[in-house]
Amino acid sequence: MNEIQYFESKDKNLGIQISIQLIQKLHNICKKAYPYETGGILIGRYSEDLKWAQIMTVSETPLKSNRSHISFTRNSHGITLILKKYWEEKQYYLGEWHYHPGASSLPSELDKKTMFMLSRSTKLHCPEPILFVVGGNINEWNHYAGVYKRNEEIILKEV
């Protein structure tokens, strides 16, 4: 049986669900990357009323991504093939994830700016991308989840 972690907005109108197994996968990717930032994409599906997103897959860090102790720029190498594969299973691009090694999971101003830019992208067809950030380290992980609508950040709290 797969345990699920829920994150939802204060007004309970939006939320995500992600399995504990996927969160552990993210932690393992982050452990390997430490002390560098890393990241990838979130793939899954939406509820019929579009209020909930179920994260079903998280990608590994694409090749040729730029990583340092304080920044991460995801390369799109191989992403199209991954998305095409999951599209056939009716799973879609939901957003981005990345890691703040040894730091808070709260998004930086650059993180927010990037997410607002993605929400306006006509190529992505994802007007409300999700950002999931892992912070901390092997001794103490912390998580941030948010949805970005054009000019609004909607913070999702763990429930």
159 burial level (CB within 10 Å; 0-12, 13-18, 19+)? exposed
Alpha carbon distance 118, 100 (integer Å): 20
| Helix/strand number for the chain, H first, E second | 3, 10
Residues 6+ apart with CB under 8 A from 150: 116, 119, 120, 127
Which listed residue (3, 8, 37, 60) is catalytic? 37
Is 37 an annotated catalytic residue? yes
Identify the DSSP state of 117: H
Q: Which residues are catalytic?
A: 37
